[in-house]
Amino acid sequence: MNNVRVRIAPSPSGFLHIGTAKMAVFNWLYARQQGGAFILRLEDTDVERSSDEFAQAMCEGFHWLGIDWDEGPAFGDVPEKGDYGPYRQSERIAIYQGEVQRLLDEGKAYKCFCTKEELDAERERARAEKRPPRYSGACRNLTREEIEAKGDAPYVVRFKVEEGHTEIDDLVQGKVRSDNKEFDDFVIQKPNGYPTFHLAVVVDDGLMKITHVLRGDDHLTNATRHVMLFKALDYPLPYFAHLPMVLDENGKKYSKRLHGANVLDWRADGYLPETIFNYVVLLGWTPGDDRELFTREELIECFSIERLGQSAARFDMKKLQWLNGQHIRRLSVEDLQQRVMPILQAAGFDLSGCSPEWLRQMTAICQEKIRTLNEIVPYTDFFFSEPAEYEEKAVRKHWEKDGALARLKQLRDLMASLDEWSTERLKSAYEALVEETGENLGACVHPTRLALTGKSVGPGLFELAELLGRETCLARMDRAIAYVNQMGGQRA
């Protein structure tokens, strides 16, 4: 079905919202699966709110997620491409005005000269009479002479809503049937000659030959007006699929004020673009089984509109964090190393004296532990500087007990006696010691980890000890012994 044409049409009046990203991902997946075209269009006719700065921020968000487009405006470092442009609404004003004139000529729209004061009074009367505030149609049947008599008076253009019903066979919501009398004659062109959202989006979708409109269900009411316009303009009607919005963890619409509403917040927090792409798909689509972890290629293969759901899904930080950890495990060590090096450098760690192989090994021993890229910092900071303090809770648990000092001395002597300094040799030596003493391995590992790193959790002890080196490990064991000795002789 290579004639599929879908689009995402954000307004560049802010950052790339997580909800917009979700809709972009669904459209992109469907286009890629069907061998169709994914179109980017910018709805930038709101001059006061739109800016190039916001447009670039959105572009950066799309690029980070790996969402490319087959047609669209010059955006970031991507030149304009496609045969149905321009792809910025601000450059299509003459096109909209031409279509509005066609509706006027065909008697499907009319000029409305009602003033703001008259419309406000009309709304007040409706409220007083406890009926919906709808336009009365005062200008609907003005004669040519009456219109000419208005001279240069400002006007809007309204669409004539005909009697009857409008039906939408929505691919997600099912059949939606509306009585046209619930809609007044809505405005399609403003006094300044600019189109309203309803007119512009329909003209764009119609002339750009969009076949499927996948968007948020907050547009479901708008869709009735849009179908009316599609029919009036004699455009082929696209398939509609209105999808639930993204909810926060409290079940409310994901506010722009919340951290994470901006897609790039997740980049700053150390999440992979593969994770966010994967996760937003799960906020409205199910694979038909319990599987949750997908690559981009796997999603393209198994995505289907039929499995899009009607129910809104809450954002689940625990699931997202788990998913990010799983995607981190899937990376090659070399790929992960390239992603964490800038984070380590930003944290102030000097990597200049570290060999590429040492850095690769350091990354490898953390790969199974970290849940976000940013966690590489607390999991490796002890490699670059001696611990400034010891974790208080771990000190109470492992060092504030009888025999703690003797145990540390024993472990220090064990380390010093090794003829080979390697992960395997350290591990076998510790295992031999616990077999001799009858204690569990943790009784030796935890006090040593605290001495070497100042922490109770981190990479595997034997792996990190090998990378720290014999001299550093022995020096830190000596420092820990002195610390415990000062805590009180009764722990000897």
State the catalytic residues: 256
Residue owning tokens 């189109």: 195
Nearest to 398 by CA among 469, 461, 472: 461
Residue 160 burial (C-beta neighbours within 10 Å; 0-12, 13-18, 19+): middle
What does the alpha-carbon distance between residue 357 and residue 380 come to, in Å, rounded to a whole number?
16
C-alpha pair distances (Å), 75 with each of 81, 87, 453: 10, 10, 47
Kind of pairing between the strands at 187-189 and 174-179: unpaired
476: its two tokens: 């830190």
Across-strand partners of 8? 40
Q: Which residues contact 120 (CB under 8 A, 6 or more apart)?
A: none
Burial 8-20 (b: 16+ CB within 10 A, else e): bbbbbebbbbbbb
Residue owning tokens 């350091």: 362
C-alpha pair distances (Å), 152 with each of 113, 189, 292: 10, 16, 61
Q: Provide the 8-state DSSP code for 145.
A: H
> Quick check: 139 and 111 in contact, CB under 8 A?
yes
What does the alpha-carbon distance between residue 491 and residue 489 come to, in Å, rounded to a whole number?
5
E strands of 117-248, at which residues? 156-159, 165-170, 174-179, 187-189, 212-216, 239-243
Across-strand partners of 308? 285
195: its two tokens: 């189109």
Alpha-carbon dihedral sign for residues 369, 375, 377, 381 = negative
Nearest to 263 by CA among 103, 2, 23, 468: 23
Burial 97-118 (b: 16+ CB within 10 A, else e): bebbeebeeeebbbebbbeeee
